[in-house]
Chain A
Amino acid sequence: MAAPSAAPRRLTSRSGGLPDRLFRSASGLAAIGVTLLIIAIGVMLALNSTEAFGKFGLGFITNTVWDPVAEVFGALPYIVGTLLSSAIALVIAAPIGILTAIFLAELAPRRLSIPLTFLIELLAAIPSVVFGLWGVFVLSPFLGSTVDPFLIRILGWIPIFAGPSYGIGLFSAGIILAIMILPTIVAISREVISSVPDSQREAMAALGATRWEIVRRAVLPFARSGIIGAVILGLGRALGETMAVTMVIGNAQDLPTSIFDQSQTIASKIATTFNEASIGIQTSSLIALGFILLVITIGLNVLARLLVRRVTAGERRT
């Protein structure tokens, strides 16, 4: 998103002719419609989950069984899978993304930052399903044959790094997610860093600080909440990512115990099971899963944007 510019003058409809009123109403309708859309989606998901929540209560969230035959459904394995894969993605993408944003915004010469920014924006344009295809046939076999065994050899004594690895699984999904959320973290962090007023930088420079010190002491403290917002937005995106994850996460029903296990996320579970779920408690349970995902992603989104706004709109910070 571009930095906010000066607000234009609002047009007043003093002429008030019918076409003008119609036009204003139509555009108002569109705007309201968009706003109401989230509410509509939320309400619709909530309404359709009542059957599941009604039957299982909050135990739905903690139950680990998904049994269509006995009609007992629980969300825990998918919530854990979602959180674990996103956590792996964040651990990898956040440091790299933030450092990249700093590089592009502060440290790089323009000749380098412009093409690099362009390339990273291109990364964001690659469709999820293409990442998934690449993940299944290129990344996962590579991980399974080279990286994973190495990691298992070194860290395998820690339960969460225990093998065996078959390539596909949480770790593979986490890496692909990391790649996919990098552009988000980079772009928004960059915007946030750029909006820190120059006066801070100039003051530090006048004191003879190195470029890194300027970043560390003049920029980052002010940009911090915005950068956290950027990371949270990246997390939000990771949580909702469907296709690439579905293709490499391996589709296992149990609670994962290691990052090399196969698992499922909420999104991948819905994607694979929705069309063949029988109308009734099973569909309602899947929609309940979706509702949980919606609540988490909207919550994170709102939080993140508030944090970002604090920095980018913050002239008052000087």
Chain B
Amino acid sequence: MTTLAPVMDRSIASRLVRSTADQRRARTDRMMRGFSLAAAIACVIPLAAVIIFVTINGLGGLNLDLLTKPPRALGTGGGAASAILGSLQMIPLATLVAVPVGVLGAVYVAEFSGRRSADAIRFAADVLVGIPSILVGIFVFTFLVLPFKQFNAFAGSMALALLMVPVIMRTTEEILRLVPGTLREASLALGIPMWRTVLSVVLRTGLTGILTGVMLAVARAFGETAPLLFTALGSRLVNVGDFAKPMDALPIFIYVNARQPYPVLNQQAWGAALLLLIVVLTINILVRARSWGRRAA
């Protein structure tokens, strides 16, 4: 193999040396391919380990009791009904608040703003995504818990919403940029006012992509614990509808029961973790599989 590769081949320009050098290069190539393959596999092993162990330990705990009963004293039984109902209430409320704000913000960046402000807003959203969620919890605590001297589920929902907004905004904006400008122009040319154009034409075109972003944000919100610790606080009682009071949530339930000395409660923590994992992974798989399918096509 003729080569002009700079590194090797210092000595006699003999075929033998070149082929040794070539062998070395081929060896290095194979070695690095092997290392990087090993690295890729090393990334997947923890995924398998977590899924396997949560499934094994959680199957025993994931039963009807866990889903329907509230916590009982002394680890004598009970379940995660308070937590499941809590999550099922706080997350829809958070989504209800986060989606309009996130989508509208994305619309502004994609449709109305100048280049500089678009960059700035996008940058801000990216940085927001990286803020530790516990600090968001402190932030919401100061405004929605402290003045009322009451931990409440509404504050919990707002904390979750704050975490979801930047994610939704960024993904929506990416989708909106993919919508061809010709669609907009055609709509405007037909005399449709701008707000209608954006809502009915642009957003509708990007709807699937936007939903993807929303679902991913929802999946993230399901698993968030830290911001809820200072806002919704958690509860052993089933709370349906009272957002002015503390409310339990699945991740809080797992956190609290993980450190209990009662094996029954540890078992419930595993069961709840399995439930949470199923929900989160299902959403992620469905959403990503669709976009993968489209990308591969």
Listed in ascending order, the chain A residues whose CB lies under 8 Å from chain B are 1-2, 4-11, 13, 15, 17, 19-20, 22-24, 26-35, 37-38, 40-41, 44-45, 48, 95-97, 99-100, 102-104, 107-108, 114, 116, 118-123, 125-134, 136-138, 179, 182-183, 186, 207-213, 215, 233, 236-237, 239-243, 247, 267, 270-271, 274-275, 287, 290, 293-294, 297-298, 301-302, 305
Contacts and interface: CB of A to CB of B under 8 A. Distances in A.
A8 B176 contact: yes
Contacts of B54: 130, 133-134
Contact of B5 (A23, A138, A207): A207
Label chain B's interface by main secondary structure. Answer: helix
Contacts of B195: 19-20, 22-24
Given A212-B33, A270-B138, A35 B120 contact: yes
A293 B284 contact: no
Interface in B29-44: 29, 32-33, 35-40, 42-44
A268 to B, nearest CB: 9
A11 B135 contact: no
B91 to A, nearest CB: 13
A213 B198 CA distance: 48
A275 to B, nearest CB: 6
Contacts of B277: 126-127, 130
B127 A128 contact: no
Secondary structure of the A contact surface, majority rule? helix
B281 interface: yes
Interface string B146-170: 0000000000000000100110011
A241 B132 CA distance: 7
A119 B47 contact: yes
Interface of B: 1-5, 25-26, 28-29, 32-33, 35-40, 42-44, 46-47, 49-50, 53-54, 57, 100-102, 104-115, 120-121, 123-128, 130-136, 138-139, 141-142, 162, 165-166, 169-170, 174, 176-181, 184-185, 188, 193-195, 197-198, 219-220, 222-226, 229-230, 233, 251, 254-255, 258-259, 266, 269-270, 273, 276-277, 280-281, 284-285, 288-289, 292, 296
Contact of A121 (B107, B108, B162, B288): B288
B4 A133 contact: no
B108 A31 contact: yes
Given A20-B194, A133-B273, A136-B258, A35 B133 contact: no
Contacts, number: 314
A274 B151 CA distance: 13
A5 B266 CA distance: 48
A270 B115 contact: no
B112 A207 contact: no
Contacts of B226: 128, 242-243, 267, 271
B111 A8 contact: yes
A34 B101 contact: yes
A64 B71 CA distance: 39
Contacts of B254: 129-130, 133
A99 B35 contact: yes
B1 to A, nearest CB: 6
Contact of A100 (B36, B104, B138, B194): B36
A7 to B, nearest CB: 7
Nearest first, the 5 A-B pairs at minimum CB distance are A127-B223, A240-B132, A103-B36, A23-B195, A99-B39
A45 B194 contact: no
Contact of A8 (B104, B106, B110, B170): B110
B105 A27 contact: yes
Contacts of A45: 135, 138-139
Contacts of B4: 207-208
Contacts of A31: 104-106, 108-109, 113, 121, 169
Nearest to B280: A125
7 contacts: A24-B108, A27-B112, A35-B121, A123-B47, A126-B223, A243-B251, A271-B134
Contacts of A207: 3-5
Contacts of A126: 47, 50, 223, 277, 280-281
Nearest to B216: A125
Contacts of B35: 99
A272 to B, nearest CB: 9
B174 A2 contact: yes
Contacts of B233: 275
Contact of B193 (A20, A97, A233, A290): A20
A96 B47 contact: no
